[in-house]
Amino acid sequence: MRAARGSFQIGSFRGIPIRVHFSLLIVLPVLAFLFGGAFRRAAEVAEVPSERLSGSPALWGLAVAVGLFASVFVHELAHTVYALRRGGTVRSITLMMVGGVSELTEAPPRPRDEALMAAVGPLTSILLAVLLGGATWLLQEAGSFNLRFALFYMASLNLFLGVFNLLPAFPMDGGRIVRASLTGRLGAVRATQVASVMGRAFAVLFGVWAVLSLNPFLAIIAVFIFMGAQGEAQQVRMKATLERVPVADLMTPRRVGVGAAASLEETLWELRRERLLLLPVTEGDRPVGQVALEVVRSVPDAERMTRTAREVMQRAVVVRLDEDGWVALRRMAEEEVPQLIVVEPDGTLAGTLDVNDVQRGMTLYQAREERRGQRAPRWRQERPA
Catalytic site positions = 76
Q: Give dist(CA 269, CA 261) in Å, integer.
A: 14
CA dihedral defined by 363, 368, 370, 376, rounded to 10 degrees? 170
Q: Give dist(CA 308, CA 260) in Å, integer.
A: 7
Q: Is 21 marked as a binding-site residue? A: no
Omega cis (within 30) before 171? yes
331: Cα within 13 Å, side-chain hemisphere: 19
Residues 300 and 265: beta-carbon distance below 8 Å: no
Q: Give dist(CA 286, CA 344) in Å, integer.
A: 10
For residue 199, give the nearest of 225, 161, 164, 173 by alpha carbon: 225
**Cβ-proximal residues to 268 (8 Å cutoff; 6+ apart), any chain:** 293, 296, 297, 304
The alpha carbon of residue 22 and the mean position of all alpha carbons in its chain are separated, in whole angstroms, by 16
**Known binding site for Zn(2+): residues?**
75, 79, 173
